[in-house]
Amino acid sequence: MFRHAIVRKPSKNLADGLTTADLGKPELSKVMAQHAAYCDALEQCGLQVIRLDADPDYPDSTFVEDTAVLTVKSAILARPGAESRLGEVANIRDAIERFYGNIHEIKAPGTLDGGDICEAGSHFFIGVSQRTNEEGARQLGAFLAVDGYTSSLIDIRDMTSILHLKSGIAYLGGDNLVVMEELALRSEFARCNLIRVPAAESYACNCVLVNDRVLLPSGFPQLQAALASHGCKPLLLDMSEFRKMDGGLSCLSLRF
């Protein structure tokens, strides 16, 4: 059960951030409305939402998930793979230190984005991507092992369809894993009960289990129906503007 979430208000220069999408620039009024609705949804799920001010020095900083990995036992400060985002970690440290006494840090030459890390019960899937390198993954795995967790590496460096691992998978409790078709045959997921998502709806793979609800981007009826058939209760949110910046639902908060 999550009790808290850290979010950061989008800055007015969000459109200056990094993106590989070709969907146009985000509209600021819609960005703010969608972010407010996201925060409201977290509160509906029973979380206390810690709202941080916008940081125009870092246009991507509303995507706070990439700055840390938070577990029940400790916090691991990340080291983003994009150089322009490195300063975001120092700027979120104070918020994390309010709740965690045991804090680790990924060190150079390791790089790690939180969006590449999928916690699945006591096991962590760690994506090795264009943002998270093997050294960063190794350091994280070592920190997790000290706390009694297991982990495995999922190499997605040859994939052009997703930026981070959690763009293509989501853990829904038990053995249930939402997975995009392109990843569905990976041996690393052989023991999971897979909810396979067709290519046309792959963006919706980045859904988020928050207590008794599943936050799901709106406009993806096949996955919505599949989740309902598995007993999940989807809570739909418009993510159109964040999608333009390669952002998804999990990216916008650190949940713990």
- What is the tens place of the pLDDT at every residue in 189-242? 999 999 999 999 999 999 999 999 999 999 999 999 999 999 999 999 999 999
**How do residues 108-146 score in pLDDT, each as one tens digit?**
999 999 999 999 999 999 999 999 999 999 999 999 999
Q: How many residues does the chain have?
A: 256
Q: Which of 45, 192, 207, 251 is catalytic?
A: 251
b/e code 7-46 from CB counts within 10 Å (16+ = b): bbbbbeebbebebeeeeeebeeeebbebbeebbebbeebe
Provide the whole-model pTM.
0.97
Report the C-alpha gap between 150 and 214 in whole angstroms: 25
Q: What is the CATH number of the domain that holds 35?
A: 3.75.10.10
Give me the domain span that covers residue 44.
Answer: 4-255
Is 4 one of the annotated active-site residues of the chain? no
129: Cβ contacts below 8 Å, ≥ 6 apart: 81, 113, 116, 156, 157, 163, 164, 165
The residue behind tokens 């988020």 is 208
Report yes or no: 170 and 206 within 8 Å, Cβ to Cβ.
Answer: yes
- Which is catalytic among the residues 164, 205, 207, 232? 164
Count the domains in the chain.
Answer: 1
- Predicted pLDDT at 47: 98
C-alpha torsion angle, residues 131, 22, 216, 65 (rounded to 10): 30
The answer to whether residues 242 and 34 touch, using CB atoms and an 8 Å cutoff, is yes
Residue 76: predicted pLDDT = 98
| Confidence band of 13 (pLDDT split at 50, 70, 90) | very high
Strands 213-217 and 234-237: what pairing? parallel
Asked if residue 168 lies in contact with residue 202, where contact means CB atoms within 8 angstroms, the answer is yes
Q: Is 164 assigned a catalytic role? A: yes
Q: What is the pLDDT of residue 29?
A: 98
Q: Provide the pLDDT for residue 163.
A: 96
Q: Compute the mean pLDDT over every residue in the chain, rounded to the nearest whole number.
A: 98
